[in-house]
A and B are shown apart, each in its own frame.
Chain A
């Protein structure tokens, strides 16, 4: 068995037909499939250790707590955090970014302050800042990419002023595939006295990430996009910042003591984890990280680079296809449009062929407006995809062109 075949064998869901054809799953930027190892880790937790964490004085409670906190340490090592207390479990990247917006943005920003972000953000790293700016009378400044889909560091840094308090930027674009130079952006932002929040939803699953090397202040990502369960996400934040922040949600577990007159907060990260957390989700995420690190994040990245380059050659060969985003180093996805054929129609034909891609605005409408398209197709790859999958994609695109060929305007 080749490496790819061995990996595919771990993903039961891939072994099925859709509309009579073997499934080709190319919607990994939306969510990834789960290997048996993750599914079993979640099942094993429920079968052997399920209890509430942090409070119970009984064996199951201790076991559950140990596994949940073990998952936190696993995540901390995965992103290069110096301290597991810097890892806050959330529902997803969106909640992690909102946590920063509520617990830091709404409380620390005032009239005239400035937030700098980019036009290639997913709505979840754009709308929270738009809302915070509106609520606090702050100013949102938006940097557009260069025509090739990259960010120009000087142009971005040119927006930094002494009023800039926060820079919110995505590490990897979910539409363009651009990988942004977060380390340099962070250095420039810090020189300007601003904090840096990074949306890592499309980077942490696909390449080695080290928050210390990136030099950012907050880093958010989702477990479900990296082989883990849905409903578990992570906010990594610098400890001194997290400690100085007020809670985001109030209730159980986040409290040190409650009196009639008031309450004191638990220490970080518990201060930010009100209520019973997604224990099984965190344990599943740790199993996903084990799986990814056994493959090796460098290998994951290299595999996707190869597949993306291969797919680009195929799409160019098919012809009549516009591909968006930079040519060089990029994350493992391709957004494209077939001349005269709406992405919805493309995705419907592809689905008939058993090929799952995404068609839509990918929660990046400001970027769609900039590209001057209502929507795009997006094929996104992961460790279990092969060149044979790309061949099937290309064949289905040829079929789409034939089918709509007579009506293309």
Chain B
């Protein structure tokens, strides 16, 4: 497989110009997970609108595959019912497992099919989807609980001496562990401009 097949134009386009990247003021679902392989963190926020995905945003740093996947995911699920969203998650994860099938419903995301041949990169492509997947049932059961989003209250260990040291801080919603991705708990999302 060549690099051009892996990094298809639509992927590079979403990487260069991510859609729906940013933050929502009042999300009903707000969750983040870290990719244990590289430490990348993706946060997904959803505002519900009568049982549908009214608005959705993602944030966090990552490689081209994880950023493009998150960006395309937000486009695909906007306006869908939660059941439809669950179905699309299921389709996407099946495609990443390399299962044969019709993935037309995933539209542009089919460009990511080639990633399934790069075992270490699969986690990059699925990260945003696992974040969303873990957020959905809780939202269906109790939307109010979802946005209470208690941050993991971790005692920060002060870092002493040296240059500008960033102490670990408790920031971001405490996410439940899902599907091999680790909940970041004490990790901090850097709010600085992305490079």
CB of B161 within 8 A of CB of A366, answer: no
CB of A143 within 8 A of CB of B161, answer: yes
CB of A370 within 8 A of CB of B157, answer: no
Cα of A141 to Cα of B158 in the assembled complex, Å: 7
CB of A342 within 8 A of CB of B166, answer: no
Most buried by A among B41, B166, B187: B166
B187 to chain A, nearest CB (A): 8
A313 to chain B, nearest CB (A): 24
Does A388 sit within 8 A of B, measured CB to CB? Answer: no
Give the interface size bracket for B toward A.
Answer: 35 or more
CB of B166 within 8 A of CB of A152, answer: no
Shortest Cβ-Cβ A-B pairs, 8 listed? A144-B162, A342-B63, A155-B161, A344-B63, A144-B165, A361-B39, A407-B16, A147-B163
Most buried by A among B63, B157, B166: B63
In the complex, per-residue mask of B138-174: 1 if CB is within 8 Å of any chain A CB, else 0: 0000000000000000000111111111101000000
Does B97 sit within 8 A of A, measured CB to CB? Answer: no
Does A369 sit within 8 A of B, measured CB to CB? Answer: yes
Cα of A359 to Cα of B7 in the assembled complex, Å: 18
A339-B195, A342-B64, A407-B15 are known contacts. Are A159 and B38 too (CB-CB below 8 A)?
no
Cα of A339 to Cα of B166 in the assembled complex, Å: 22
Cα of A159 to Cα of B165 in the assembled complex, Å: 15
CB of A374 within 8 A of CB of B39, answer: yes
Partner-B contacts on A (CB < 8 A): 119, 130, 140-147, 152, 155-156, 158-159, 339-340, 342-345, 348-349, 352, 359-361, 365-366, 368-370, 372, 374-375, 403-404, 406-407, 409
Does B56 sit within 8 A of A, measured CB to CB? Answer: no
Partner-A contacts on B (CB < 8 A): 2-3, 6-7, 12, 15-16, 37-41, 61-66, 118, 120-121, 124, 157-166, 168, 187-188, 190, 192, 194-195
CB of A152 within 8 A of CB of B168, answer: no
Chain B residue, CB-CB nearest to A346: B63
CB of A374 within 8 A of CB of B161, answer: no
Chain B residue, CB-CB nearest to A409: B16
A118 to chain B, nearest CB (A): 9
CB of A348 within 8 A of CB of B166, answer: no
Cα of A152 to Cα of B161 in the assembled complex, Å: 9
Q: Which residues of B contact A343 (CB under 8 A)?
A: 38, 63
CB of A375 within 8 A of CB of B38, answer: yes
Most buried by A among B158, B159, B162, B192: B162
CB of A152 within 8 A of CB of B162, answer: yes
Cα of A359 to Cα of B120 in the assembled complex, Å: 11
CB of B190 within 8 A of CB of A119, answer: no
B18 to chain A, nearest CB (A): 9
Write 12 A-B pairs (CB below 8 A) sorted by A numbering. A142-B160, A144-B159, A147-B162, A147-B163, A147-B164, A342-B63, A344-B38, A348-B118, A349-B3, A366-B159, A374-B61, A403-B7
Given contacts A158-B160, A369-B188, A404-B64, 14 further A-B contacts (CB under 8 A): A140-B157, A147-B162, A340-B195, A342-B61, A342-B62, A343-B63, A360-B37, A360-B38, A360-B39, A366-B159, A368-B39, A374-B39, A374-B40, A375-B39
CB of A145 within 8 A of CB of B63, answer: no
Chain A residue, CB-CB nearest to B18: A409
A168 to chain B, nearest CB (A): 14
B161 touches which of A159, A339, A340, A372 (Cβ 8 Å): A159
Q: Which residues of A contact B168 (CB under 8 A)?
A: 366, 369
CB of B165 within 8 A of CB of A344, answer: no
A345-B64, A407-B16, A409-B16 are known contacts. Are A142 and B40 too (CB-CB below 8 A)?
no
Q: Which residues of A contact B194 (CB under 8 A)?
A: 409
Cα of A4 to Cα of B187 in the assembled complex, Å: 44
A396 to chain B, nearest CB (A): 11
